[in-house]
Structure formats: C-alpha cells, structure tokens
Structure 1
Amino acid sequence: MGVFQTLMKKKELIPLAVIMTVAAGGASSFALYSLKKTDVIVDRKRNPEPWETVDPTVPQKLITINQQWKPVEELQKVRRVTR
C-alpha cells in the first residue's frame, strides 16, 4: 500500500503529513544554510584556518542587534609575529 493510498483512505492523516513535510523541509534548508556560513568547517585540508577570511563587516548570525567590530590589539600583534 502506498503513501498516497493510505492518505486517501485515512484523510485525518493529511494535516500530519503536511506538517511533517514542512518541518523536514525547513530542517533541511536550515542545515544547508548553516553549511554555507563561514564559521562552519567542512573541508579542513583546503582551508585549515577559515576564520582568517571572515569579513568583520558582515553579520554572522541570523539576528544581529547593535554589533560593532573593533580589532583586538593583542590579536593583531600575534598575527604580525606568526606571519
């Protein structure tokens, strides 16, 4: 018996199927969205330090409220010494 045949026989399952489909689609789309973010490391061999290429002017969160970026002096000194 197929899924559609079951849904046609038991019509009360249609809202449940719709809700589950929307939830699965939303979860999948958020997972794909999260993989495109710069703070997620998928391939460490090509880019072992991806945090070095993060643009500080672009917000990295879904919701950013009053975020201002200032360079940390100690971090800048360490970068100059290690390069």
Structure 2
Amino acid sequence: MGFFQLLMKKKELIPLVFFMTVAAAGASSFAVYSLRKSDVILDRKRNPEPWETVDPTVPTKLVTINQEWKPIEELQKVRRATR
C-alpha cells in the first residue's frame, strides 16, 4: 500500500504527518542556519586560532545586560610579546 493511499484510508494520520514534516523542516533549516553563522568554524586548517580575529568590542553573547567590553591590558601585553 502506498503512503498516500494509507493516509486516505486513515485520515487521522494526516495532522500527525503534517506536524512531523513541519518539525523536521524546522530542525533542518535551523541546523543549516547554525552552520552558516560566523561563530561556527568548520575549517580549522585555514583559521586554526579563530579567537584571534574576534573583535572584543562586539558582544557575541545571546543576552548582554549592562556589560562593557574592555580589552585586558595584561592580555594585550602577552599578545604583543608573542607576535
């Protein structure tokens, strides 16, 4: 019996199939969206240290409330010394 023949025979399965299809499409689209974000790095050969290119003045948290981003002086000194 084909899939659509089964749905026509048992009409109570139609909402279940619809919601499962919508959920699968939503999960797939979110996975693709997450992989395209700039925070996700899949290629480690071209950029092995991605934290070096992060701008400290741009907050990357999901929620930032009354927080100021300032560079740490000691970290800047170490960074300059290692380059």
Deviates more, 1:31-40 or 1:6-15: 31-40
Q: 1:16 to 1:41 in 2, by over 3 A?
A: same
State the structure with more CA Rg.
2
Gaps of 5+ in 1: none
Residue 34 of structure 1 corresponds to which residue in structure 2?
A: 34
Using the size of structure 1 for normalisation, the TM-score is 0.75
> Identical aligned pairs, as a percentage?
78
RMSD across aligned positions (CA): 2.1
Partner Cα distance (1:4, 1:35) in 2: 34
Q: TM-score, normalised by structure 2?
A: 0.75
1:30-82 per-residue CA deviation (whole Å, 9 max, x = no partner) reads: 11121122332211111112222234455535x42425322222322222112
Contact 2:7 2:13 (8 Å CA) reproduced:
yes
Q: How do 1:38-77 residues align onto structure 2 when only pairs under 5 Å count?
A: 38-61=38-61, 63-66=62-65, 67-77=67-77
Q: Count residues in correspondence.
A: 82
Higher relative contact order (CA 8 A, sep 6+): 1
Whether the 8 Å contact between 1:56 and 1:69 is mirrored in structure 2 is yes
Give the unaligned 5+ runs of structure 2: none
Partner-residue secondary structure (3-state), 1:12? helix
Classify 1:47/1:12 alpha carbon distance in 2 versus 1 (closer, same or farther; 3 Å). Answer: same
